[in-house]
């Protein structure tokens, strides 16, 4: 099993550009989520999904979109990148939100 | 609504000394509690968790944590620190809300181990 995979590992964007961060899991987990990690701020929840076709906003959703068309994939879209979105992004999955979260290796995003 | 407080953004210990990382939570119902560890340039991985049953939970690498309901705490301890324990540690709580469990993470504590 590959677990949770994220692509790309590193990305540089210019302000105003859009991009999609990919996340996939092969554990048949229903719950998937996106976090951003910034120094001193810990992990902040961006969006989450409790199953295919169901998504909801977390703590910091502005500027990001998600969709969940399959159980395996949960892409995160940046609509118009801003320097404030420079961060490390982690995708996680679990059977349910109350169980152990399995994290991907992260995507480092730099917005100039 | 649930929240997690980790006391101390940085904790410094000498190799061989006791490690104590503090976590307090607020929750309106009995929650599930977790500790995760993050090594540099990696994702988080589970150290240990409490769901039900015995309140003293043992995890990987010699760590353990005790759920104290009366104190709403879930502190992480290790009797003797090793250099390889240097990492970021996150406490997380998950409680039922509207039929779903949504985890909340603390801000993390960086453990520094001196030779």
Task: Please report the residues numbered 94 through 113 in chain B whose beta carbons come closer than 8 angstroms to any beta carbon of chain A.
Answer: 94, 96, 100-108
Q: Which of A41, A97, A100 sits opposite B102 (nearest CB)?
A: A97
Contact assignment for A101 to B42 by CB distance below 8 Å? no
From chain B, the residues in CB contact with A88 under 8 A are none
Contact assignment for A105 to B43 by CB distance below 8 Å? yes
What distance in Å separates residue A18's CA from the closest CA in chain B?
Answer: 24
Least confident window among A25-29, A101-105, B82-86, B98-102: B98-102
- Are residues B9 and B75 in contact, defined by beta-carbon separation less than 8 angstroms? no
Helix (H, G, I), strand (E, B) or coil at A98: coil
- Can you give the length of chain B in residues? 115
pLDDT digits (tens, 9 = 90+) for A29-77: 999 999 999 988 889 999 999 999 999 999 999 999 999 999 999 999 9
Confidence class for position B1, pLDDT limits 50, 70, 90:
low
pLDDT value at position A39? 87
> B83 — phi, psi (to 5°)?
-55, -35
In the block, which residue shows the tokens 């985890």?
B103
pLDDT reading at B98 higher than 70: no
How far is Cα A77 from Cα A34, in angstroms, rounded to an integer? 11
């Amino acid at each position: 099993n590959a677990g949770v995979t994220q692509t790309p590992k590193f990305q540089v964007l210019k302000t105003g550009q859009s991009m999609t961060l990919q996340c996939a899991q092969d554990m048949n987990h229903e719950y998937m989520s996106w976090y951003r990690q910034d120094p001193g701020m810990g992990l902040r929840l961006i969006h989450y999904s409790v199953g295919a076709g169901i998504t909801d906003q977390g703590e910091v959703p502005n500027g990001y979109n998600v969709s969940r068309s399959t159980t395996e994939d949960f892409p995160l879209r940046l609509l118009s990148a801003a320097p404030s979105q420079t961060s490390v992004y982690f995708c996680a999955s679990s059977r349910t939100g109350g169980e152990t979260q399995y994290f991907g290796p992260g995507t480092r995003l730099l917005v100039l | 609504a649930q929240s997690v407080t980790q006391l101390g953004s940085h904790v410094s210990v000498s190799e061989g000394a006791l490690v104590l990382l503090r976590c307090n939570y607020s929750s309106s119902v009995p929650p599930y509690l977790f500790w995760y560890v993050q090594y540099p340039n990696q994702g988080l991985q589970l150290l240990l968790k409490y769901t039900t049953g015995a309140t003293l939970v043992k995890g990987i690498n010699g760590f353990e944590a005790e759920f104290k309901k009366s104190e709403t705490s879930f502190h992480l301890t290790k009797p003797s620190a090793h250099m390889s324990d240097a990492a970021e540690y996150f406490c997380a709580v998950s409680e039922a809300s509207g039929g779903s469990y949504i985890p909340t993470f603390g801000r993390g504590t960086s453990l520094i181990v001196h030779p």
